[in-house]
Amino acid sequence: MQHHNMSDAELIQEVISRVSAFDIRSSRGSYPEPNVQIKIKRAAILLPVTVKDGEVLILLTKRSKHLRSHPSTVSFPGGMRDETDSSDIDAALREAEEEIGLPPSAVKVLGILTLGVTLPANIVYPVVGIIPNDFVPKCNPSEVEYAFYMPLKTFVEEGKVIRKPGIFRGKKVHYSELHYTHDKQTDRIFGFTCNYCIFLAAIIFGSLVAQYEGETFISANEIAGRLKQYFQFITSPVGAKL
């Protein structure tokens, strides 16, 4: 996407158009329930995107070091779905409000991306939403140490993402991570968060990305296909036991 001559309003329309093409919801707003053969919990996250001065930014959080799960890691706002949540979108918006003080009414939901999985056994519904570009996070210190904006395009710029080969549950995988310096500190963005930032950047910028060194470059559609395959493997009885 060439956007240096676009106004912020035009760029927002482009983001809406591109993300909606990857929305798993149907025109009626429903979406297929995943065919999962293991006991699994349900979580939802918000990928908060904004546009400022011709640049697409993503808002990320640094989790509190006191949390039981994934302390001190960079993540999206989000968490487990509660019985009080009427939908996965509601769960993502509720968690974002609890963690960073983002009012649900300030979020324009664009879609739900290909479902993800986090360990040990959570289905994750990735909700993409546009937020006001003047939103200042008010972090809940029991959950979030701080929040920061960064250019989403960083995730598809050459040489920014480090890829390391590994083995996960008997399969060859490549772990992606990116180091980002802001406010005189450097954060390591890796795992699920890094993968979905890459996916969203590939969608919005139409970029081709190599998921590991020496690989041919692939499109956002092919990334979505890989995420589906990974999801099916991890939630299968075989994948879950490895």
Q: What is the identity of the amino acid at 145?
A: E
Tell whether 91 is covered by a domain.
yes
Q: Is 162:77 a contact under the CB 8 Å cutoff? A: no
Q: 215 versus 232: which is more confidently predicted?
A: 232
**Residue 93 has which token pair?**
């918006």
Q: Is 35 contained in some domain?
A: no
Q: What pLDDT does residue 212 have?
A: 57
Read off φ and ψ for residue 74, nearest 5 degrees: -85, 130
Residue 1 lies in a domain: no
* Residue 158 located in a structural domain: yes
State in Å, rounded, how far the first CA of the chain is from the last one: 41
Average predicted confidence (pLDDT) for the chain: 88
Query: Which pLDDT score is estimated for 203?
Result: 96
Provide the pairing of β-strand 41-52 with 122-130.
parallel
Task: Flag whether 210 is in a domain.
Answer: yes
pLDDT above 70 (res 27): no
pLDDT cut 90: percent of the chain above it: 60
φ, ψ dihedrals at 68, nearest 5°: -70, -40
The answer to the question of residue 167 being in a domain is yes
Longest dimension (CA), the chain: 51
In a domain, 126, yes or no: yes
The region, left, alpha or beta by phi > 0 then psi within -120 to 50, assigned to residue 169 is: left
pLDDT confidence bin for 90, thresholds 50/70/90: very high
pLDDT tens per residue, range 152-161:
999 999 889 9
Domain that holds residue 213: 8-30+41-241
Q: Is the pLDDT of residue 173 over 90?
A: no
Phi, psi of 109 (to 5 degrees): -75, 130
Q: Residue 213 above 60 pLDDT?
A: no
In a domain, 36, yes or no: no
Burial class for 47, CB neighbours closer than 10 Å (0-12, 13-18, 19+): buried
How many structural domains does the chain have? 1
Query: According to the 3-state scheme, what is the secondary structure of 27-59?
Result: CCCCCCCCCCCCCCEEEEEEEEEEEECCEEEEE
Closest CA to 123 of 80, 61, 175: 80
Output the domain CATH number for residue 181. 3.90.79.10
